[in-house]
Amino acid sequence: MTTSITGRSAVDDDPSGPVGDRASTGRLGDRIFGGLALGSGLLVVGIVTLVGLFLLWQAVPSLMKNEANFLLSREWNPSGEHPRFGIVDLVWGTLVTSVIAMLIAVPLGVAVALFITQYAPRWLSRPAASTIDLLAAVPSIVYGFWGLKIAGDYFQPVADVLQRTLGWIPLFTNENISAKSTLAFAGVVLAIMILPIVTAISREVFAQVPTTHKEGALALGATQWEMIRVAVLPYGRPGVISAAMLGLGRALGETLAVLILLSTLNPNADWTFSIFNGGSTFASRIAQGAGEFDTPQKTGAYIAAGLVLFIVTFVVNAAARVVIERRKAFTE
């Protein structure tokens, strides 16, 4: 069932698949039913197009009135006669949390996928896979609350050590913020949240490695690890890349966990590069502003931020899809 998130579709499979295309007779029933099916498909295309166009349409008036540089400003005062707002802080917050999430979740997810497909005894591999999938079933608001109330306190010592030993690097300076409210910890929680998707897709490609490749390596005297390195990992690389990208897509848009954890910054505070600082992501800023969508102009500013997020996730997901397609072209 988890295959549904791989983005592999019937259309990508062999065209000579289970289809009786020429069975259509042009009878009324066939035309109606076929039309309904096509209509649903077109509706999906329409929805995605509408999302983009609508957000653009609603964002433009606010962007026109914006007196600050939308891409380069750190301010966020979208109301009043002289609205000034920009997304630099949001780009930074989203980037840092997502990169941290990826740095943790991708290696871990690949290792877990290898465990499930190559190492786990047979009785364990299926339950192990389902267990990791269950991580995706925990609602994101619960992750946030758990991080804030429980897990965050255990991150404090880790943060302290990193700040003491690596504090001379701008990324790790101590900003005197509780460790659980920092970009770093939000990234850690995001990593847990995207782990199931990275694992599920990596698992699937590792399971597809041709038996002959693996047996060949073993027959040449490779240890199991060497077999994995020469046969499994190279074969699975495109799949792992697209898994990472889909995970990134999720991390970029995660809202509630980040909203609950991150402490927002004072807009007048000096700029720092520290990951042990508070901040905002696109998603958390929008969720925060949801209570004050009172004027179209103000709402438009948040919609503009949402549009940027939509475009970024669109590009990331499309890229993941392209990687999957390329792999298919290569293996077939």
318 binds another protein (CB under 8 A): yes
Closer residue to another protein, CB minimum distance, 153 or 160: 153
310 binds another protein (CB under 8 A): yes
Q: How far apart are CA 8 and CA 249, in angstroms?
A: 17
* Amino acid in the structure at residue 90: L
SS3 assignment, position 84: strand
Closer residue to another protein, CB minimum distance, 106 or 183: 106
Instruction: Give me the residue label for tokens 């954890």.
Output: 261
CB distance 133 to 201 below 8 Å: no
DSSP state of 15: T
Q: Which two tokens stand for residue 86?
A: 């920009």
Contact pattern from residue 67 through residue 96 relative to another protein, giving x for each residue in contact according to CB under 8 A and a dash for the rest: ------------------------------
Name 224's Cβ contacts closer than 8 Å, sequence gap at least 6. 118, 119, 218
Residue 137 CB, shortest distance to another protein, in Å, is: 5
Task: Give the count of beta carbons closer than 10 Å to the beta carbon of residue 306.
Answer: 19
Q: Which of residues 234-253 bind another protein (CB under 8 A)?
A: 246, 249-250, 252-253
158 binds another protein (CB under 8 A): no
Query: Which of 65, 68, 95, 145 is close enough to bind another protein by CB under 8 A?
Result: 145
155 binds another protein (CB under 8 A): no
Q: How far apart are CA 256 and CA 153, in angstroms?
A: 19
Closer residue to another protein, CB minimum distance, 111 or 169: 111
Query: Which of 60, 63, 95, 118 is close enough to bind another protein by CB under 8 A?
Result: 118
C-alpha distances (whole Å) from 199 to each of 5, 46, 105, 131 are 11, 32, 9, 11
Closer residue to another protein, CB minimum distance, 81 or 122: 122
Closer residue to another protein, CB minimum distance, 173 or 314: 314
290 binds another protein (CB under 8 A): yes
Closer residue to another protein, CB minimum distance, 68 or 120: 120
55 binds another protein (CB under 8 A): yes
Closer residue to another protein, CB minimum distance, 270 or 332: 332
Closer residue to another protein, CB minimum distance, 195 or 275: 195
Instruction: Give me the residue label for tokens 């290569």.
Output: 330
Residue 144 CB, shortest distance to another protein, in Å, is: 8
Name 189's Cβ contacts closer than 8 Å, sequence gap at least 6. 143, 144, 147, 151, 257, 258, 261
277 binds another protein (CB under 8 A): no
CB distance 73 to 86 below 8 Å: yes
Residue 8 CB, shortest distance to another protein, in Å, is: 8
Which part of the chain contacts another protein (CB under 8 A), choosing from 25-33, 80-88, 160-168, 270-278?
25-33
Q: How far apart are CA 58 and CA 39, in angstroms?
A: 27
DSSP codes joined into one string, 123-172: HHHHHHHHHHHHGGGS-HHHHHHHIIIIIHHHHHHHHHHHHHHHTTSGGG
Smallest CA-to-CA distance from 114 within 231, 5, 248, 213 is with 231
Residue 296 CB, shortest distance to another protein, in Å, is: 6
Contact pattern from residue 190 through residue 229 relative to another protein, giving x for each residue in contact according to CB under 8 A and a dash for the rest: --x--x---x-------xxx-x--xx--x--x-xxxxxx-
